[in-house]
Amino acid sequence: MYRRALSWLLRQTLKLDVTINRVYPTDWNPLYYTGGLTNFFLLVLVVSGILLFFYYVASLDGAYASVAYLTDAVPYGGLLRGIHRYAADAFIIAALLHLFRNWFTDRYLFSRDGPWISGMFLLILGGFIGVNGYQLVWDTRAQAITQIFVQMLRAIPLAGPPLAHLFLGGPGISDALLPRILFLHIGTASFLYLLLWWHYVRLRHPKIWPPATWVLTTLGLITLLAALPGTAPVAGVPAQPGVGVTSYPLDVFFLLPFWLTNWLPAGVVMGGLILLFLAGYVIPYLDRETEPAMGVRHAGVAQVIDGNCTGCELCYYDCPYDAIVMVPSPHPGVTKAAANRKLLAVVMDSRCVECGICVGACPFEALELPKFLEADLTRRIAQAVAAPASQTVTA
């Protein structure tokens, strides 16, 4: 059931690609750059966030006034705020597209699970940073979501109340709150880059930057949304302690859980979120024992044929997963070409995805996929060339 749904989703994803590729050249297909776009939006967020930081005052009395001053009195301050807000939305959209695309196209299985797990951390922390950003403004919406978030925290058994105490910096909302949130906002955002290192660590050429046309178009759309009267951020109502908030504008990309608390107890929403993310961590391991869809072979981790390796580093440069390391050769190779080698290629099993790109890179026949040998292929070539096609004469 799960696998059939996934293969249906795979088919739809790739059909969508075919459609997009009619309009855009294939290497400009935005869906091939969801990760790069996410990274680009993160950079936009960092740059605009640093500029916003210069104006922000992290106190219950000063926060709203500082944001209002920035929005109304500083030239292009409102635009800057809007860019920060819509870049955050774009970040989450791109990250979710990235997640679903890689899920549906089977790019998370087997030795590709590292990026998936780090990606789940990135997604959770990204969402958390977004919520913090809405709290920093300290208008009525910030007040409401802070209350709901504290309720959600308290609903966690055992660890909940101390966590809520830690988050608030005391038993209730006090001046200790906003500096904490500011640190959580900026500190966690910096931590994202550490996680990104984990996300990229075994990719030889991570696609961290989208094509120019998409940089310009998305940045333009973000700026446009930030400037247009209907969508530009407006100053809300300043928070008033002790007054219950009944309604506030909703950002569906970050505040959806808070919206759900209209109908569900905060504890249930928190439990649902935790379950959702736990399920996210389990996804790569659900299908482990079965053949992935599309009847894909398991060719086996590439093996270096020691005697043939000349230490030329061609496979090392071509491996897209940095799975091949060159080590000082412990002994000379067997063949003439390998007799004077200085280096020897070694495959790191945990990084190998069994694609065989190194086999194609090696002119010395020093690499093999154990379950799809050169002999298998040459036999098939010989068959294909020798057998007469039904309607043709043999050459």
Q: Does 219 bind other proteins (CB under 8 A)?
A: yes
Q: Does 43 bind other proteins (CB under 8 A)?
A: no
> Smallest distance, Å, CB 389 to other proteins?
4
Q: Does 315 bind other proteins (CB under 8 A)?
A: no
Q: Does 8 bind other proteins (CB under 8 A)?
A: no
Considering only residues 321-350, where is the footprint of other proteins by CB under 8 A?
Answer: 321, 334-338
> Smallest distance, Å, CB 323 to other proteins?
11
Binding mask 274-313 for other proteins (x = CB under 8 A): --------------------xxxx-x--------x-x-x-
Q: Which of 9, 28, 57, 260 binds other proteins (CB under 8 A)?
A: 28
Q: Does 114 bind other proteins (CB under 8 A)?
A: no
Binding mask 93-112 for other proteins (x = CB under 8 A): ------------xxx-----
> Smallest distance, Å, CB 333 to other proteins?
8
The amino acid present at 240, given as its one-letter code, is Q
Q: Does 6 bind other proteins (CB under 8 A)?
A: no
Q: Does 68 bind other proteins (CB under 8 A)?
A: no
Q: Which of 33, 41, 103, 258 binds other proteins (CB under 8 A)?
A: 33
Q: Does 201 bind other proteins (CB under 8 A)?
A: no
Q: Does 11 bind other proteins (CB under 8 A)?
A: yes
Q: Does 384 bind other proteins (CB under 8 A)?
A: yes
Contacts for 373 with CB less than 8 Å, ≥ 6 apart: none
Q: Does 392 bind other proteins (CB under 8 A)?
A: yes
Q: Does 364 bind other proteins (CB under 8 A)?
A: yes
Considering only residues 221-280, where is the footprint of other proteins by CB under 8 A?
Answer: 221-229, 232
Q: Which is nearer to other proteins, 271 or 356 (CB)?
A: 356
Q: Does 357 bind other proteins (CB under 8 A)?
A: yes
